[in-house]
Structure 1
Amino acid sequence: MSHQHLAAILPAKGSRLEVTNRPTPGPGPDDLLIEVKAIAVNPIDWYQRDMGFPPIAAYPAVVGSDIAGIVISAGSSVSSAALQAGTRVSAFAPSFFKQGDPDYGALQTRVLVPAANAAPIPAKMSFTEASMLPMAVATVWSGWYSIGIARDTAYTAADKQGMLIWGGASSVGSAAIQIAKLMGFTVYATASEKNHGYLKTLGASKLFDYRSENVVKDIVKAAKEDGVMISSGFDAAGQLTECLEVLEKSKAEGTAKLASAIPLKDESPTTEGVEVKFVSAPGDEKARIEHFQFVFNVWLKEKLEKGEFVPSPKLKVIEGGLNAANAALDELKGGVSGVKLVLEV
């Protein structure tokens, strides 16, 4: 007997999502079949819906990356006792890497996710909170990978190593603040003033209003007063010119490195002494699986167990479950600040 489940499918490029039944797949050897309880939406979801970018191989497709739920069954090669049936997990659905393959997109009630992309969540964490984690955490760690920050980086305050994070109140920016702080960086972040107090609680050392015309000067001055060199940065907001200027003026000897969450173009600004890399996970599939295994099965699992990493920024539930998927993507497209939009399924 074939099982069916509800999914918000994308019937064609540029069309609206439609909620319908589709057949429930069984997990491949390395996959988990997950009963989805909450889905967080990301800009890439509306890009795929409205523009078919990143590329979608065939329609109907299912888009979306961020889920939390319960493992229904694990594939034959999944040996981890931490990811067996009944486990509550936060997981990164690989719709983006699978070009919209409908079995692997987040916006449905049953989804396949590689076991490498899942982390068990503590009993006290809600599914809505847990759904906010995967894309943000994966993007930050892919940024570190892109610019060569080692996984085991562990500075102390005495090392005076600074990290610039532009767009600190975004989902990715707020995760970057937490992860950089855990690695021992002194974090200089930009955000709207109303979010400064909150971002301090996540580990930002100094906050700056990106709207200020003196923002670059102010960051450079603060780092100088602190005796800190800022040789690494993460641009979560697409403010490349300002990021380059800060790094150029605040870096140690040698080349500073900036990870950009926004794709780079031929006409993107450049500065001597600062190398910019677009955030991307390893291109080779084997290396990518190993990268995600570290990020989710090892790092995130441990940090959640210890309570050292929290879902951020603020959570906003959009009522209506899968039927509200278009509304959630429309709201995100219109622009949000300091919140992550989540659907409860």
Structure 2
Amino acid sequence: MPLALVVRENKKLVVEEFDLPKYGPKELLIKVTHVAQNPTDWKHVHFDLAKPGSIVGCDFAGEVVEVGSEAVGNYKKGERVAGCVHGGQDAKLDVRGAYSEYVVQEASLVFRYPSDMSPEAASTIPLASITAALCLFHEMNLPFPPATAQVPVLIWAGSTSVGQYAIQLAKAAGCYVITTASAARHDYLKELGADVCFDYKDKNA
């Protein structure tokens, strides 16, 4: 039986066997090969947000094992994909986390990644990029790229995972991008699309 990192009472994490998850007609069954760690993973456990019996973890990369009959994207068994799930949710809802040997996700919510990209790198993309996109295009209602929003946007902590995606997406939406980071990161962030960088250590920033 496959293994997973499961939340138990009193914030305890244990490695346990679990039944191979069932997949629906629009979903893929994926064998997880790599995962990434996000703040939400440990916070779900530390702040008692994860239900006992749930599997934690969001970001993953892996290989397609089974394809639902109505799954979009023309995925094939053995293809390398990456995506994310909402780990730490109630296992009774059949929502399972990424810190397991197998995971199920809708085909529309995973992606193929280039052959020259490592699965380690691919596993870090989903949650950070989605977080940045939701902030810019859902919460702030910026137009989807390509666009010419022509508005200034401040992205605090631009060198973080979310910050780097936010800079690129905001620039693609036509924004004037202002960000903060340590001085050593300014040139790199300008390559990503930042127009102005401020040192977050500067008391005047």
TM-score when normalising by structure 1: 0.55
Provide closer, same or farther for how the CA distance between residues 174 and 99 of structure 1 changes in structure 2, counting only shifts above 3 A. farther
The one-letter code of the counterpart of 2:144 is R
Asked if 1:59 corresponds to 2:52, the answer is yes
Identity of aligned residues (%): 33
Provide closer, same or farther for how the CA distance between residues 177 and 27 of structure 1 changes in structure 2, counting only shifts above 3 A. same
1:31 to 27, 32, 43: 27
Which residues of 2 match residues 109-258 of structure 1 at below 5 A?
109-143=101-135, 144-155=137-148, 160-215=150-205
CA distance in 1, matches of 2:117, 2:179: 27
The one-letter code of the counterpart of 1:131 is S
The one-letter code of the counterpart of 1:183 is A
The one-letter code of the counterpart of 2:47 is M
Q: How far 1:30 moved relative to its partner?
A: 2.1
Q: 2:64 is matched with which residue? A: 71
The one-letter code of the counterpart of 1:61 is S
The one-letter code of the counterpart of 1:26 is K
Contact 2:180 2:199 in 1 (8 A): yes
Q: How far 1:152 moved relative to its partner?
A: 4.1
Contact 1:13 1:49 in 2 (8 A): no
Residues 171-217 of structure 1: CA deviation (Å, up to 9, x unaligned): 111110111122222211111223223222222122111121111xx
Asked if 1:5 corresponds to 2:17, the answer is no
The one-letter code of the counterpart of 1:109 is E
The one-letter code of the counterpart of 2:7 is L
Provide closer, same or farther for how the CA distance between residues 154 and 8 of structure 1 changes in structure 2, counting only shifts above 3 A. same
Q: 1:87 is matched with which residue? A: 79
CA distance in 1, matches of 2:90, 2:44: 10
Provide closer, same or farther for how the CA distance between residues 59 and 39 of structure 1 changes in structure 2, counting only shifts above 3 A. same
- Which has the larger helix fraction? 1
Contact 1:7 1:20 in 2 (8 A): yes
Q: How far 1:99 moved relative to its partner?
A: 4.1
Q: 1:21 is matched with which residue? A: 17
- Structure 2 portions without partners, runs of 5+: none
Contact 1:13 1:51 in 2 (8 A): no
Q: How far 1:161 moved relative to its partner?
A: 3.2
Which residues of 2 match residues 88-107 of structure 1 at below 5 A?
88-95=80-87, 98-99=89-90, 104-107=96-99
CA distance in 2, matches of 1:117, 1:32: 10
Contact 1:164 1:187 in 2 (8 A): yes
Provide closer, same or farther for how the CA distance between residues 136 and 169 of structure 1 changes in structure 2, counting only shifts above 3 A. same
Q: 2:40 is matched with which residue? A: 44
CA distance in 1, matches of 2:145, 2:150: 17
Q: How far 1:166 moved relative to its partner?
A: 0.6
How many pairs does the alignment contain?
203
Residues 66-106 of structure 1: CA deviation (Å, up to 9, x unaligned): 1111111122221321x33222111011336x446675201
CA distance in 1, matches of 2:10, 2:190: 41
Alignment partner of 2:190: what SS?
helix
Q: How far 1:160 moved relative to its partner?
A: 4.7
Provide closer, same or farther for how the CA distance between residues 59 and 210 of structure 1 changes in structure 2, counting only shifts above 3 A. same
The two structures, once aligned, show a CA RMSD in angstroms of 2.0
Q: Over alpha carbons, which structure has the higher Rg?
A: 1
CA distance in 2, matches of 1:181, 1:108: 36
- Structure 1 portions without partners, runs of 5+: 216-345
